[in-house]
């Protein structure tokens, strides 16, 4: 028994197994959903979908040091690709995903080439402009976007079956785990290190043979792919998307989620996404005391405060804070131990 | 200069360095299947080599034509400044053909000039460094030493003049045709005046950043952590560990470098440079900020690594004792211009150098 326990403990040190375990736990959601309110399930699903987008964005800002404000328009592209794939072309779902990845590659490349020659605040402004252009395009070219009134999608089909929202949730969970694993892989490979070294010190990076523009572009494209995938999953779960809702607010929320959670930690990003997107609907609405209409906007106040506090005191986000606490507890324990030994 | 043939040569050279890297990887984890792969790659390299040789022949014919043309112009030209300029251009062009016959040559500057606006940071500087030398570059502050380094490593594109480099295949390249991040593929690695490490990564990971150009695994094997990447990662980690050990840095392997003593940071940067399989390393003030005993240790380390990895070293340094101790030859500069080139003794007894350092009498 002890051996098994030890074995499991050992395996759980490996982040990949942690992600798998997390996925397995999430798979309980569809089972538990009959016992939860529809709002809660919906909020959880949306949180998970935004988590995928935020993961891609954390690669961009945490590792590449690039702040883009175009994320929401990429999610929008994803939703409309999903609409077109599922309803207009009647493609199988996996083919829709592939189509989405392909379109994400193209848009990421175009946006990246236009905007990546500049850095910092100016990059944010340029991507913001580009995404505003995209929203206007969504409104006016209504073949796939439904124009101003938005589009409604059918449920997705897989293996000849029409999936219920609970079953779609399983697909979302699969993609969440996949996104976590792939992000972890990228971070811990030459690619992740190259991005970090560009962010820290681009002349040293260049001297070590790292092409700045190439790696920035790849990071941008990867984050675009994540966002478009998030969009496709959003459309398959929520089944409704309207061009004008994908504005600056969503992009800023994702930026906030990543910054609050800790842009260099996968679990931190999850925590941040939950704080920004899920806390209100999942937590507060289920607590009687807080569900009163007096506190309707409490979550905005809290997330606003969090953003201020975290950016001021914990540049590594909540993940950094938790790490620090862990370290302190460990030290206290060691001190305690040493004191005992001394006696 | 920047014509299609030239670009083709650069392109083929890149391809060759890539293949070289692949061969090195397969050689390191030797098995039977790999032999065939290695042979295949070697054949490819041979083909590329012959292509490059052919192109170089064509290019040299072009340059001789150009030199002839310029010579004709020179005869009819009367204006002195234009004449000077023409002579310089001819010299730069003809240097390449001369150098391709010299076996000992590794890198040379030919009439290198770098202007920032009206300021000439480097003015018509030429010198040659041979294989296996430790070459020192000295001069008062602001003499343009670091600018020379930046011109060699292509952080700056020289306004005029060329930097010629003989690669492992024996071809002579003008480094101005290469991009900054491709210089390392030719085997040129540098350190910086102020230590430039990645502060968010551990020392080991910093060394792996140094090994970035050695990875052959593509994006997808990185995305899915395919066996190829894992194998490469393991091999390079081993290499990094070895280098750290040989420099006595094992204790810092998993430490974030931020806040470590300056001497250690300098050593880590040296270790990172060694990770890149360099032929030539360029050290920008390696002893700056070190105390006497650390400097002495550094001198020993530099001599050691030079022996061990068969390196050529160019260094800028203010610590005269160190320079006179370890350098085979020295170039003294002042205000961007060359004062003298020679052995340490010759430089010490040179009148001009003395005035530059001690002020005029």
- Asked whether the beta carbons of residue A208 and residue B179 sit closer than 8 angstroms, the reply is no
Q: In this structure, how many other beta carbons lie within 10 angstroms of the beta carbon of residue B64?
A: 13
Interface probe, candidates A187, A193, A218, chain B, greatest B C-beta count within 10 A: A193
The β-bridge relationship of strands B188-190 and B329-334 is: unpaired
Residue keyed to tokens 């080599």: B49
For residue B103, pLDDT beyond 80: yes
Structural Rg of chain A based on CA atoms:
21
Q: Could you say which residues from 110 to 139 on chain B have a Cβ atom under 8 Å away from some Cβ of chain A?
A: none
What is the torsional sign of CA B57, B61, B64, B66? negative
Distance separating alpha carbons of residues B69 and B93, to the nearest angstrom: 12
Q: Who has greater pLDDT, B6 or A205?
A: A205
- Asked whether the beta carbons of residue A209 and residue B182 sit closer than 8 angstroms, the reply is yes
Q: Where residue B361 falls among pLDDT bands split at 50, 70, 90?
A: very low
pLDDT value of position B238: 92
B192 touches chain A (CB under 8 A): yes
- Asked whether the beta carbons of residue A211 and residue B181 sit closer than 8 angstroms, the reply is yes
Q: Exposed/middle/buried for B104, CB within 10 Å: 0-12, 13-18, 19+?
A: exposed
For residue B318, pLDDT beyond 90: no
pLDDT, tens digit, 9 for 90 and up, residues A101-115: 999 999 999 988 888
Interface probe, candidates B185, B204, B223, chain A, greatest A C-beta count within 10 A: B223
3-class SS at B338? strand
ipTM of the complex: 0.88
Q: Which are the contacts of A3, defined by CB distance < 8 A and separation ≥ 6?
A: none
The average pLDDT across A124-151 equals 87
3-class SS at B166? strand
Distance separating alpha carbons of residues A286 and A273, to the nearest angstrom: 18
What is the torsional sign of CA B165, B170, B173, B179? negative
Residue in A182, A185, A200 nearest the CB of B200: A200
Residue in A185, A196, A204 nearest the CB of B225: A185
> Residue A64 is encoded by which pair of tokens?
């590449």
The average pLDDT across A332-339 equals 87
Question: Mean pLDDT over all residues of chain B?
Answer: 88
**Least confident stretch, A28-42, B28-42, B108-122, B199-213:** B28-42
CB B138 within 8 A of CB B163: no
* Residue in B9, B307, B331 with CA at minimum distance from that of residue B152: B331
pLDDT value of position A48: 94
- Asked whether the beta carbons of residue B180 and residue A206 sit closer than 8 angstroms, the reply is yes
CA B216 to chain centre: 22
For chain B, strand residue ranges (E) read: 105-116, 119-130, 134-138, 160-166, 172-174, 188-190, 280-284, 312-316, 329-334, 337-342
Q: Hey, where are the domains in chain B?
A: 1-101, 103-358
- Please report, rounded to a whole number, the percentage of residues in chain B having pLDDT higher than 90: 33
The average pLDDT across A3-30 equals 88
Q: Who has greater pLDDT, A160 or A18?
A: A18
Domains of chain A (ranges, CATH numbers): 17-315 (1.10.3470)
User: Which DSSP string do the residues of B167-210 spell out, in sequence order?
Assistant: -TTS-EEEGGGS-GGGGGGGTEEE--SS----TTS-HHHHHHHH
For residue B1, pLDDT beyond 50: no
Residue keyed to tokens 């391709």: B100
CB B243 within 8 A of CB B275: yes
B220 touches chain A (CB under 8 A): no
* Overall residue count recorded for chain A in this entry: 343
Residue keyed to tokens 């009439």: B111
Structure letter (DSSP) for residue A293:
G
pLDDT value of position B359: 64
- Asked whether the beta carbons of residue B222 and residue A185 sit closer than 8 angstroms, the reply is yes
- Residue B354's region, left for phi above 0, alpha for psi from -120 to 50, else beta, is alpha
Residue in A185, A204, A211 nearest the CB of B196: A204
The average pLDDT across A8-25 equals 89
Chain A to chain B Cβ contacts (< 8 Å) = 89
pLDDT value of position A172: 93
Give the minimum alpha-carbon distance from A17 to chain B in angstroms, rounded to a whole number: 15
- Asked whether the beta carbons of residue B210 and residue A191 sit closer than 8 angstroms, the reply is no
Please name the residue of chain B whose CA is at the shortest distance from the CA of residue A200: B198
Interface probe, candidates B194, B196, B240, chain A, greatest A C-beta count within 10 A: B196
pLDDT value of position B31: 65
- Asked whether the beta carbons of residue A211 and residue B192 sit closer than 8 angstroms, the reply is no
CATH for B103-358, among 1.10.760.10, 3.40.50.2000, 3.40.50.10790, 3.40.50.300?
3.40.50.300
CB B252 within 8 A of CB B117: no
Distance separating alpha carbons of residues A209 and B185, to the nearest angstrom: 7
For residue B168, pLDDT beyond 60: yes
* Residues of chain B positioned with their CB less than 8 A from the CB of A193: 198, 201, 205, 208-209, 212
pLDDT, tens digit, 9 for 90 and up, residues A171-227: 999 999 999 999 999 999 999 999 999 999 888 999 999 999 999 999 999 999 999
What is the torsional sign of CA B247, B252, B255, B256? negative
B272 touches chain A (CB under 8 A): yes
Q: Could you say which residues from 17 to 36 on chain B have a Cβ atom under 8 Å away from some Cβ of chain A?
A: none
Tell me the C-alpha to C-alpha distance, in Å, between residue B252 and each of A295, B140, B188.
Answer: 51, 35, 26
Residue in A182, A196, A206 nearest the CB of B198: A196
For residue B360, pLDDT beyond 60: no
- Asked whether the beta carbons of residue B198 and residue A186 sit closer than 8 angstroms, the reply is no
Interface probe, candidates B180, B195, B202, B215, chain A, greatest A C-beta count within 10 A: B180
Residues in A lying within 8 Å of B, measured between beta carbons: 182, 185-186, 188-191, 193-194, 196-197, 199-201, 203-212, 218, 264
- Asked whether the beta carbons of residue B217 and residue A190 sit closer than 8 angstroms, the reply is yes
pTM confidence score: 0.91
> Residue B323 is encoded by which pair of tokens?
């320079």
Residue in A188, A197, A264 nearest the CB of B209: A197
Distance separating alpha carbons of residues A302 and A298, to the nearest angstrom: 6
pLDDT, tens digit, 9 for 90 and up, residues A30-83: 888 888 888 888 889 999 999 999 999 999 999 988 989 999 999 999 999 999
Q: Which are the contacts of A172, defined by CB distance < 8 A and separation ≥ 6?
A: A45, A48, A49, A233, A237
Residue in A185, A200, A208 nearest the CB of B213: A208
* Residues of chain B positioned with their CB less than 8 A from the CB of A191: 219, 222
Averaging pLDDT over each range in A10-14, A36-40, B114-118, which range is the top one? B114-118
Structure letter (DSSP) for residue B251:
G
- Asked whether the beta carbons of residue B200 and residue A212 sit closer than 8 angstroms, the reply is no
- Asked whether the beta carbons of residue B185 and residue A197 sit closer than 8 angstroms, the reply is no
For A168-178, give one letter per residue: b (16+ CB within 10 A) or e: bbebbbebbbe
* Residues of chain A positioned with their CB less than 8 A from the CB of B192: 203-204, 207
Question: Mean pLDDT over all residues of chain A?
Answer: 88
Q: Who has greater pLDDT, B25 or B220?
A: B220
* Residues of chain B positioned with their CB less than 8 A from the CB of A204: 192, 196-198
**Least confident stretch, A63-77, A233-247, A270-284, B28-42:** B28-42
> Residue A224 is encoded by which pair of tokens?
């675009």
For residue B35, pLDDT beyond 90: no
Please name the residue of chain B whose CA is at the shortest distance from the CA of residue A62: B200
Q: Who has greater pLDDT, B298 or B37?
A: B298
* Residues of chain A positioned with their CB less than 8 A from the CB of B196: 201, 203-204, 207
Give the minimum alpha-carbon distance from A245 to chain B in angstroms, rounded to a whole number: 32
Give the minimum alpha-carbon distance from A129 to chain B in angstroms, rounded to a whole number: 30
pLDDT, tens digit, 9 for 90 and up, residues B230-257: 988 999 999 999 999 999 999 999 999 9
The average pLDDT across B16-30 equals 81
């Amino acid at each position: 028994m002890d051996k098994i326990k030890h074995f499991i403990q050992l395996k759980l040190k490996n982040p990949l197994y942690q992600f798998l375990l997390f996925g397995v736990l999430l798979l309980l959601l569809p089972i538990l959903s009959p016992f939860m309110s529809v709002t809660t399930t919906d909020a959880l699903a949306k949180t998970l979908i935004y988590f995928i987008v935020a993961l891609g964005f954390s690669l961009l800002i945490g590792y590449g040091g690039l702040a883009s404000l175009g994320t929401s328009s990429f999610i929008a592209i994803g939703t409309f690709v999903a609409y077109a794939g599922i309803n207009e072309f009647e493609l199988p779902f996996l083919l829709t995903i592939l189509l989405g990845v392909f379109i994400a590659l193209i848009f990421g490349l175009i946006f990246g080439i236009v905007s990546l020659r500049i850095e910092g605040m100016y990059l944010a402004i340029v991507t913001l402009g580009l995404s505003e252009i995209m929203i206007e395009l969504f409104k006016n070219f209504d073949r796939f976007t439904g124009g101003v009134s938005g589009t409604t999608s059918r449920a997705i089909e897989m293996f000849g079956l029409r999936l219920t929202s609970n079953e779609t949730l399983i697909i979302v969970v699969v993609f969440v785990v996949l996104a976590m694993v792939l992000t972890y892989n990228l971070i811990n490979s030459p690619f992740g290190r190259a991005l970090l070294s560009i962010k820290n010190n681009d002349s040293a990076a260049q001297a070590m043979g790292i092409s700045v523009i190439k790696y920035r572009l790849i990071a941008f494209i990867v984050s675009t792919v994540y966002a478009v995938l998030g969009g496709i999953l959003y459309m398959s779960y929520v089944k409704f998307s309207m061009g004008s809702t994908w504005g600056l607010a969503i992009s800023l929320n994702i930026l906030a989620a990543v910054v609050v959670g800790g842009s260099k930690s996968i679990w931190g990003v999850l925590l941040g996404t939950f704080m920004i997107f899920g806390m209100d609907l999942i937590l507060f609405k289920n607590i009687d005391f807080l569900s009163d209409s007096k506190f309707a906007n409490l979550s905005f106040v809290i997330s606003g405060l969090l953003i201020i506090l975290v950016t001021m005191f914990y540049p590594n986000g909540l993940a950094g804070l938790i790490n620090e606490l862990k370290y302190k507890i460990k030290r206290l324990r060691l001190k305690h131990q040493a004191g005992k030994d001394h006696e | 200069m920047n014509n299609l043939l030239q670009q083709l040569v650069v392109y083929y050279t890149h391809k060759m360095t890539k293949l070289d890297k692949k061969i090195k990887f397969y050689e390191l984890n030797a098995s039977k299947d790999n032999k065939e792969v290695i042979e295949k790659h070697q054949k490819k390299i041979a083909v590329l080599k012959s292509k490059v040789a052919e192109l170089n022949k064509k290019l040299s014919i072009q340059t001789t034509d150009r030199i002839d043309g310029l010579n004709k112009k020179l005869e009819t030209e009367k204006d002195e400044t234009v004449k000077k300029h023409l002579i310089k251009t001819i010299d730069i062009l003809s240097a390449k053909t001369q150098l391709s016959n010299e076996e000992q040559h590794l890198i040379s500057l030919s009439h290198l000039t770098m202007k920032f606006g009206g300021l000439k940071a480097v003015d018509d500087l030429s010198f040659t460094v041979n294989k296996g030398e430790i070459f020192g570059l000295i001069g008062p502050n602001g003499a343009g030493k670091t600018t020379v380094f930046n011109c060699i490593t292509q952080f700056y594109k020289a306004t005029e003049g060329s930097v010629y480099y003989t690669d492992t295949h024996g071809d002579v390249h003008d480094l101005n045709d290469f991009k900054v991040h491709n210089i390392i593929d030719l085997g040129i690695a540098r350190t910086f005046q102020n230590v430039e490490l990645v502060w968010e990564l551990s020392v080991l990971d910093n060394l792996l950043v140094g090994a970035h150009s050695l990875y052959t695994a593509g994006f997808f094997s990185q995305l899915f952590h395919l066996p190829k990447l894992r194998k490469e990662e393991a091999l390079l980690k081993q290499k990094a560990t070895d280098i750290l050990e040989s420099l006595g840095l094992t204790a810092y392997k998993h430490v974030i470098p931020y806040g470590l003593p300056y001497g250690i940071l300098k050593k880590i940067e040296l270790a990172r440079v060694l990770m890149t399989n360099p032929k030539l390393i360029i050290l920008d003030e390696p002893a700056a900020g070190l105390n006497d005993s650390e400097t002495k240790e550094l001198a020993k380390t530099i001599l050691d690594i030079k022996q061990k990895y068969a390196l050529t070293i160019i260094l800028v340094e203010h610590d005269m004792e160190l320079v006179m101790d370890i350098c085979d030859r020295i170039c003294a500069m002042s205000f961007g211009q060359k004062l003298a080139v020679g052995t340490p003794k010759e430089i010490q007894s040179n009148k001009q150098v003395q005035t530059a350092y001690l002020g005029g009498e």
